[in-house]
Chain A
Amino acid sequence: MTQFLQLFFQGFALGCIYALVALGFTVIYRASQVINFAQGGMLLIGAYLVSVFATGTRLPFGVAVALAVLLLAAGAVSFQMIVLRRVIGQPVFVLVMITIGASIVIDAAIPAIFGGNPRLLGDPWGSSALHVGGVTLNWVRIWAVIVTALILAGFFVFDRFSRYGLAMRATAADEEAAAAVGVPVRRVYALSWAIAGAVAAAGGLFLAGFPNSPNPSLGDVALRAFPAIILGGLDSPLGAVVGGIVIGVVEVLTSGYAPSWLGANFSDIAPYVLMILVLFVRPYGLFGTRPVERL
């Protein structure tokens, strides 16, 4: 039983990280139909920024994280304003290609600047853990869950109750109509990238926590969040979060319990298999809505 609980907890914590990544993807996609292939790169930058501020300066860890979040959000917005705004109106795959270009740049620049060896994250938790009834709960992972919950709560308050949240939903529903009634669509785009950047910083921070460390291959993890987006349904941030957690739990549970005839490391594709099975039954994900098209 403790084995199951241990696996479940780790999976849940990993799922929270996936949820953050999926949220970042979904926010941008909802606003502009762009699949941001640079999300993994943003995760990577987030982890390294935290590492640089936390180990390179005497700032307290919380301040370092706040700085990293702000810087990454600002960076994401700058990218959107300087580069993507020039191609507004172009087919969506053009913007997707640009994000692919950005991810190539990031993946090469990080080892170029920081070297390929792992760094210290500089977090105060390290390897410390809480031991509850035979189950080990690393503090890093506990904080990952807490912070994710806070971020999500904050996001939902923003989404439902603030003007910009409304603006984002309006833009997602129908961009032209929203612009026609005065919704500041450009600002909505910028905002969606800022949120994605901030969320990526948080995701990167926890991803690089114990027992991992900031190293150049962290960005690949973002790919694993894709099933989360689909599972939850593309236009539902709640769905992205639920999807992320489900994916994380499935992945870790499978790695613990999968029989060997499924092949080595079946846990790596278990999320995709699950996603495909769900799509057979519900082609728009668990929470997604069927789009209505006007002929």
Chain B
Amino acid sequence: MNLHEYQGRVLFRAAGIPMPDGDVASTPSEAESIARRVGGTVVVKAQVHAGGRGKAGGVKLAKTPAEAAEAAEKILGMSIKGLVVQKVLVVPAADIAQEAYVGLIMDRASQRPVFMVSPAGGIDIEEVAEKTPEKILRLAVDPRYGLLPHQALTLALFLYQDIAQARAAAKIMEQLYTVFTSNGCSLAEINPLVTTPEGRIVALDAKVSIDDNELDRRPDLALLRDETAEEPSEVAARRANLTFIKLSGNVGCVVNGAGLAMATMDLVKYYGGEPANFLDIGGSSNPDKVVNALRIITSDPEVKAILFNIFGGITRTDDVANGIKTALAQFPVKVPIVVRLTGTNEVEAVKILQGIGMKALSDMDEAVQQVVALVKEAA
């Protein structure tokens, strides 16, 4: 789960990371009063989960509170990469002498949190990694001992020659590490970490992603989820305990298991179709899940046919068949449905489907070819 900058700032400041004052606003008048309180020139920043906010016009300088209100007026409601801006962050504009990058990620290869720091801050770190890898220092932390003092200082000295500045930065590294481990992050990033003309080191941005698996035991973090920033169908799916991702094609897919769901989408493409979604109904048997899945998929007007691909293991195929039956009795499904099922209780499942005039296939390739042909006929 990605946090907005203003949410990340709260976690950073709670850990003691020096950041400019400021606050989040939902209206121009709120933005104006924040600007008045912090004084001087401010930056008004769109709070959306998209990169390139500046280029899209979502970041504006304002010299007076009235200008801040004006900037907020322009940015609020603006659409950046399809996402409507609901909130702006108002912070004092900082004078910048130098910019650095500090990031902490959960690294799959070393199976540890890994720091990445670079004196080339303020720009895309992946680009730095590709073009000038010597400008990045990486350091894996053993989570059982935490970030050791000499490790923090080594990272800081890669960024600052001045020892006072390096010590200040080392402290920020330790604070960032605390943010990361105490909130179950998969990413915590400061880009840029700036040096002011007076030599102070300040974090100007806060980018945080939380491991989704952490949210069950951390309701405080789960509350930070911004559902207005998501596809409505994906929000509905999550509430129904389904994993759903909307795509741009027209073959709706209902599958059990993530790997099989991906392989099903790939096979749709292989036979000349385009998947409309990724949907995993999960392992447990529950006809309600199937009903919810069909409701979500049929709400997409692009969908021209629906494919079920169920390999029964823990999932009972008769439960899936019952789910289809229940759904069809509850609401109209105007597009054709192709069902492939095999495994646990398939004989019962086939009977249930036959009872409502539907056929069930047992072969995945045959089912995918059939659904792709149906979509082509409909076009």
A and B physically associate: no
